[in-house]
Structure 1
Amino acid sequence: MEMPKIIEGGKYSDERGSLLFNNDFNLSEIRRMYCIENADVDFVRGWTGHQIEQRWFSALQGSFTIKLIKIDNWENPSNNSEILDFELSSENLDVLHVPKGFVSAIQSKEKGARLLVMADYFLGEINDDFRFPIDYFENLK
């Protein structure tokens, strides 16, 4: 089973300014992308997941907390799964890879934060969008 992971980016600075880079991120699977900007820092966007699709996240502005849960039974997800926590910041060009089979909850840490989301299927190409109420997994730690 493939697990989510951070693909680390970097930053180079000199007298001309700064360059953010991620030389280890392979974009060959990306089919579409979009940005998320939450209404405020108290709002948590989730739980949304994909049984087939993968996602890649990168903070373009500000920072985000992204919580992930592996789902084994999409018709009746367990309430005793582990929550994985990730932090992304626009200070570097880190990319969080989320393999298929996970749901996510996304919270911006400051006003105006913007998250780039990349997916490996075109919009409408497959029907693979699962949504659960934000309190569905509240028993999890």
Structure 2
Amino acid sequence: MEVPYIIKGGEHTDERGQLCYNNDFNLTDVKRIYRIENWSTRTFRGWQGHKIERRWFSAVSGSFKIELIAIDKWDNPAKGCNLSSFELLSDKLDVLFIPNGYVSRIQALERSSKLLVMADYLIGEVEDEYRFEIDYFNS
């Protein structure tokens, strides 16, 4: 199973302003994008994941904490699983790659934070959305 990882971005600043970039992120597999904005830093979005689909996340404003859990059995996932945690900041154009087989929980760390989400399937192309209660993996 693939593991999630950060594709590092960068930035350049001069007298004209700032340029953020990610020269290592290949968008070939991306078929759709959308943006998430939580109204509160106390709000969690999750747990939601995909057996088939892959996702790429990038903070375009503010910052986010992204927690991920690899799922073994989608019809009855194990509780108390190993959790991976990532922080995405908008000051660089870092991209978090989330392979298939993971569920995510997303929390904005600053008000007005915006998260760009990219996916490798169009809406309706596959039926591959799995949701679990927000406290499911805490039990």
Do both proteins adopt the same fold according to a TM-score greater than 0.5, normalized to the shorter chain?
A: yes
Structure 1 match to 2:62: 62
Check whether the contact 2:69–2:102 (CA below 8 A) recurs between aligned residues.
yes
Residue 5 of structure 2 corresponds to residue 5 of structure 1 = yes
| CA RMSD in angstroms, aligned pairs only | 0.6
The TM-score with structure 1 as length reference comes to 0.97
Query: For 2:137, what is the secondary structure of its paired residue?
Result: coil
Check whether the contact 2:80–2:138 (CA below 8 A) recurs between aligned residues.
no
Structure 2 match to 1:84: 84
Residue 109 of structure 2 corresponds to residue 112 of structure 1 = no
How far 1:80 sits from its partner (Å)? 2.9
Structure 1: where are the runs of 5+ without partners? Answer: none
| Percentage of pairs with the same residue | 55
Q: Counterparts of 1:72 and 1:42 in 2: how far apart (Å)?
A: 29
Structure 2 match to 1:44: 44
Q: Counterparts of 2:37 and 2:80 in 1: how far apart (Å)?
A: 30
Please give the per-residue CA displacement for 1:117-139, whole angstroms capped at 9, x wherever unaligned: 00000011110000000000014
How far 1:81 sits from its partner (Å)? 1.4
Q: Counterparts of 2:128 and 2:39 in 1: how far apart (Å)?
A: 25
Structure 2 match to 1:24: 24
How far 1:72 sits from its partner (Å)? 1.1
Q: Counterparts of 2:88 and 2:94 in 1: how far apart (Å)?
A: 7
Residue 14 of structure 2 corresponds to residue 14 of structure 1 = yes
Check whether the contact 2:65–2:107 (CA below 8 A) recurs between aligned residues.
yes
How far 1:85 sits from its partner (Å)? 0.3
Q: Counterparts of 2:123 and 2:35 in 1: how far apart (Å)?
A: 14
Please give the per-residue CA displacement for 1:87-107, whole angstroms capped at 9, x wherever unaligned: 000000000000000000000
Q: What is the count of residue pairs matched by the alignment? A: 139
